[in-house]
Chains A and B, each alone.
Chain A
Amino acid sequence: MSNHEKEPMFSARNLKLLTGPIGTNNPITIQVLGICSALAVTVKLKPALVMALSVTIVVAISNVVIAAMRKYIPDRIRIIVQLVVIATLVILVDQFLKAYAFDVSKQLSVFVGLIITNCIIMGRLEAFAMANKPWASFIDGLGNGAGYGLILIIVAFFREFLGSGTIYGYPVMQKLGIYSLGYENNGMMILPPMALIVVGLIIWYQRSKDRTLIENK
C-alpha cells in the first residue's frame, strides 16, 4: 500500500477479502483450485466439515507467517519456504489432533497429510501473502478457507443425501419411509466423478446468476 495511514481493522477492503472468496472469487468455482481434495473428502458431510476447518486454519496461519516474513524471504527460494511453512503447520495440526482429539484424527486419517498438497494454500501464499500485510493476509486466508469449505459442504451434502440417504450420519431417507415406496440410494453419487459433476453444476448455477463472471471471448 502506498499510503501510510493506518487502515481500520475491518475496512471495506478487508471485508471484501473475507466475502470475495465466498462468492465471486471462490477458490473452487472461480479460481479452480483445490478440486482434487473436493473430490476425495465429500462423500460424507463430517470429513468434509473437518477438512474445511483444518484447511481454513492452516491457510490463515501460514498466510500470516509468510506475510510477516515476506520482506526477508529470498525470491529464489520462496516456494521452498512456503512449502516448509505449510508442511510444518500441517504436521503440528496432525500431532495435536493425535494427542488431544484422537477420534477426529482417526476419521481424517490420510487427509490431514494431504492438506499440504492443497493448491489453495500455496496459491494464496504466492498470490496474496507475499505482497500484503499479515492482518490482511489472515483475513484473506479465512475468506478462502470459508469459500473452499462452503463448496465442500454443499457438494458433500448432496453426495451424502443422494448417495447414502443420510445427512451428517442421520438416516433421513429411512425416517421418511421412502425406501418402502421403492426408492433406492444412487450409488453413483458416492463415486468420485459425481463430485466433479456437482461442482460443475454449482459453477453453472453461479455463472448463470452472475453474468459478470463469464469470460469474454
Chain B
Amino acid sequence: MKEFSNRYIFIFSSIMVIAVATLLSLAATVLQPRQLKNLEIEKKKSMLESIGIPSIRESTESLYDKYINESFVLNSKGEVVDGVAAFPVELALEQKKPLEQQYLPVFLASTDTGEKVTIIPVQGKGLWGPIYGYVSLKPDMNTIYGVTFDHKGETPGLGAEINTSSFEGMFPGKQLYNGEKFVSIGVVKGGTKPGDIHGVDAISGGTITSKALEKMLKDCIVKYNDYLLKNRNQI
C-alpha cells in the first residue's frame, strides 16, 4: 500500500466531505416536495381508512374532499378554537405543550349512508418509536365506527401487527363509555371474554406495543371527554 502524506489525507477527506454534503443536501432539497406530498396523502389516506374507505394514492385526494367535509380544533375544555386549521396540526408537538394550550383536531365525515362520523387522531409511544392512528365514532359519540393504526418501527410480525385489518377489525362496535363514565378500549392479553364491549384481544408477542396502544387511546380520547359528552345526541 502506497504511503500518503498528511497533507494529502487532509485534502482528500475535505474534498470527500464537501462532495458528499453537496450531494446529500441536493438530493434532500430536490426530493422534499414529493416527500411532503406523500406524507400529506398518507394522512388523508389513514383518515379515510378509519371510516372504512380504502383508497389508492391517485384517488386519495378526491375521496378525501368527497367524504371529509368539516374540520376544526378544540381546546381542552371542548370548545371550538377559531382561526386554527385542523389538518396541519402535529399531534406529537401538541402533546409536548401543557394541556390547556393543546389544540385537539376533530374531523367530521359523512358516509355513503348519510351517517355523521367524527374522526379523532391519536398518537402515542410504541416499543421502538411513535404509534399513531385515527379513531372514528358513530353519532352517539360512544360507539366506534372504525379505526386505523400505524407505527414508525414496531417489530414486524409482532407489534407491527397493529396496522393489520385483523387487529383493527376488532374495534368497530366497541364502546368508549359506560353510561357517562369514560372507560376507553382495553387491549386484553390472553383474549377478551365474549361480549366485552370495552376490550379487544392483544397481539401475542407484541405485549408492549399492545399496552402502548391501550394507553394511547385512553390518553388521547379522554381529552375530548367534554366535547363527546356534550355532543352525544345532538347530531
Q: Do A and B come from one complex?
A: yes
A91 within 8 A of B: yes
List CB contacts (< 8 Å) of A152-189 with chain B: 159-160, 163-164, 187
Whether, in the assembled complex, B93 has its beta carbon less than 8 Å from a beta carbon of chain A, the answer is: no
B9 interface contact, C-beta 8 A? yes
**Interface residues on chain A, size class:** 20 to 34
Contacts known (A109-B152, A110-B129); A191 close to B24, Cβ less than 8 A: no
Q: Which residues of A contact B190 (CB under 8 A)?
A: none
| Contact partners of B31 in chain A: CB under 8 A | 95-96, 98-99
Which of B28, B129, B157, B158 has the largest count of A CB atoms less than 10 A from its CB? B157
Interface centre among B3, B34, B156 (most CB of A within 10 A): B156
Asked whether, in the complex, the Cβ of B9 is within 8 Å of the Cβ of A92, the reply is no
Q: Which residues of A contact B156 (CB under 8 A)?
A: 41, 43-44, 47
Distance of A72 Cα from B156 Cα, bound (Å): 42
Asked whether any CB of chain A lies closer than 8 Å to the CB of B13, the reply is: yes
Query: Which residues on the A side are within 8 Å of B12 (C-beta)?
Result: 72-74, 77
Cβ–Cβ contact B20 & A102, under 8 A: no
- Is A76 among interface residues, defined by CB-CB distance under 8 A? yes
The verdict on A187 contacting B204 (CB below 8 Å), with A102-B38, A102-B42 known, is yes
Q: Contact: A88 with B42, CB < 8 Å?
A: no
Residues in B with CB closer than 8 Å to A99 are 31, 34-35, 38
Asked whether A205 is an interface residue with its Cβ less than 8 Å from the other chain, the reply is no
Can you list, as one digit per residue, whether each of A70-113 has a CB less than 8 Å from chain B (1) or not (0)?
01111111001100100010011001101110100010011000
Beyond A43-B158, A81-B16, 17 additional contacts (C-beta under 8 Å) are A41-B156, A72-B12, A74-B9, A75-B1, A76-B4, A77-B12, A88-B20, A88-B23, A92-B27, A98-B35, A98-B38, A102-B42, A106-B150, A109-B152, A110-B128, A110-B152, A190-B157
Closest 8 CB pairs of A and B: A43-B157, A74-B4, A99-B31, A99-B34, A110-B153, A102-B38, A109-B153, A74-B9
| Chain A residues in the interface with B (C-beta under 8 A) | 41, 43-44, 47, 71-77, 80-81, 84, 88, 91-92, 95-96, 98-100, 102, 106, 109-110, 159-160, 163-164, 187, 190-191
18 contacts between A and B (CB under 8 A): A41-B156, A43-B157, A43-B158, A74-B8, A74-B9, A80-B13, A81-B13, A92-B27, A95-B28, A102-B57, A106-B42, A109-B153, A110-B128, A110-B152, A110-B153, A187-B204, A190-B205, A191-B205
